[in-house]
Chain A
Amino acid sequence: MEPSRDDFVIALRSAFLKKETKQRFSLLSLIFFSIILLILGNFNFKAINYTKIVIKEIVYRSSFIVSVPENLLKEGYLTIQNHNRLYKENEKNKLELATLKAKDLLNEFIVLENQRLKSVVDDYKVEVGTVLARVLSDKESPFLKSIIINKGSKQGINLGMIAMDGEYLTGKVVEVNYLSSRILLLSDLNSKIPVVVEPNGLLSILSGTGEDYGVIQYSKKYEDIQSQSIIYTSGTSNLFKAGIPIGRINSNFTNDQKKVEFFSDFSQLKFVKISSFKKSEEE
């Protein structure tokens, strides 16, 4: 049997007006109350505004307490997500490490091959007589950039030996005493080192300036030198082995002067390595 229009009206009227068990207000009265609240709130009625303030105070404080469990859940979820990300990152790093190890092996092979080829063309130099020395004093004079070390001729230090800070070139021995020596730093005005600018492979001379940087001089293809190029010793004089890293071309250079930032911080030197090189067959 199809429901008649009367049934629909009865059901609807019952839904609106009938108070269920334990209900104080009918739905219709509450709906009216909501509409009145909306209208008065829209007209900025004072009593409604005060009620709003009171409700807001209660709600904001309750909301803070109620959201504690969800915040804990949220934190837990984020922690798990972080762990997951870390795990993935670790897996990626492992792969990268394996690739780098493989590359390292290849690199080692290239180095050995390079040594062999250099010895064939009579250019390969080996490090001999390395001495580790402590810096006794450094001269902060604007006219002389040098350091005094605690090793001299007694320990086998000779004129022209080079000083290195780790793997970076810092200067050369210019004065040898029995128990001490003086090293002229690359930043000194009188320092002139034959260098090669990579990646172009341009041969040039690195001069000290008396400041904490050097400049590239006497290069024919001066304008070809790009910023961030790396400066190595060229090995053209017999003093230095080729390929010792010195510094990097400063990106803020002006076209008329190519400044070189040294890899080593000369003001922070505590120990230096004094070395000399000679051809492998001389050994």
Chain B
Amino acid sequence: MIDLRNKNFTRRILSKIPLILLFVSVLNNYDFNYLGLKYFSFNFSYIIIFYYSLKKSESLGYTYIFIAGLFNDVIVGTPMGLSSLMYLILCVAASYLRNITLRPSLLKDCIFFLITILIINSLLFISLNFIFNYELSYFDQIINITYTFLFYFLFSNIFDFFESYFVGSNNAG
């Protein structure tokens, strides 16, 4: 009985890991600047939000995603609510893809993810540049999108592995 309770407790903790990862990623803002790589950046938050909204929407929760967006705005210094809006649009896209998908495939997910982040970054670029008068490097955005897209393959597999071996959920994959 105690063993069963312990297992449930561990599973509950493990199920919260995506949420913890999301908040750590927005608060810490993984930039890997110290590596000294000039043309390298990726958006881990986009990957985790898209993956979990698509595969296991109950793991993150839209309200937490909204709050994470607010935190990201504070850290990055963008107008309050902008990142939340982008994260939520990402959730809408993931939710739409989930609704129309009958047979999930990683390649289709990736292509849809690429289209979504292209739209999101375009919206972000337009709103920051033309409405809020922020200077953004177009080239840096392209680099960010490219690496975010490429890393989706890697992280998607890592999350799949994590969900099937540690959390043991049937929803993943």
Contacts and interface: CB of A to CB of B under 8 A. Distances in A.
Q: Are these two chains actual partners, yes or no?
A: yes
Given A34-B69, A38-B80, A41-B79, A20 B57 contact: yes
Contacts of B98: 15
B70 A78 contact: no
Contact of A3 (B23, B82, B100): B100
A65 B16 CA distance: 19
A55 B71 contact: yes
A100 interface: no
A242 B123 CA distance: 82
A87 interface: no
28 contacts: A10-B99, A11-B99, A15-B98, A15-B99, A16-B95, A20-B58, A20-B62, A21-B58, A23-B57, A27-B95, A30-B63, A30-B84, A31-B89, A31-B92, A34-B66, A34-B85, A34-B88, A35-B81, A38-B81, A38-B85, A52-B74, A55-B80, A59-B71, A66-B24, A66-B28, A70-B28, A70-B30, A78-B34
Interface of B: 23-24, 27-28, 30, 34-35, 57-58, 61-63, 66, 69-71, 74-75, 79-82, 84-85, 88-89, 91-93, 95-96, 98-100, 132
Interface size class of A (residues with CB under 8 A): 35 or more
Given A3-B100, A23-B57, A59-B71, 12 more contacts: A11-B96, A14-B99, A18-B95, A23-B62, A27-B88, A35-B81, A37-B80, A55-B70, A55-B71, A56-B74, A63-B75, A66-B24
A14 B98 CA distance: 10
The 9 closest A-B pairs by CB, nearest first: A37-B81, A15-B95, A11-B99, A34-B85, A38-B81, A15-B96, A66-B27, A59-B74, A34-B84
Contacts of A42: 79, 132
A88 to B, nearest CB: 16
B88 A30 contact: yes
A99 B164 CA distance: 61
A27 B79 contact: no
A62 interface: yes
A55 B71 CA distance: 7
A77 interface: yes
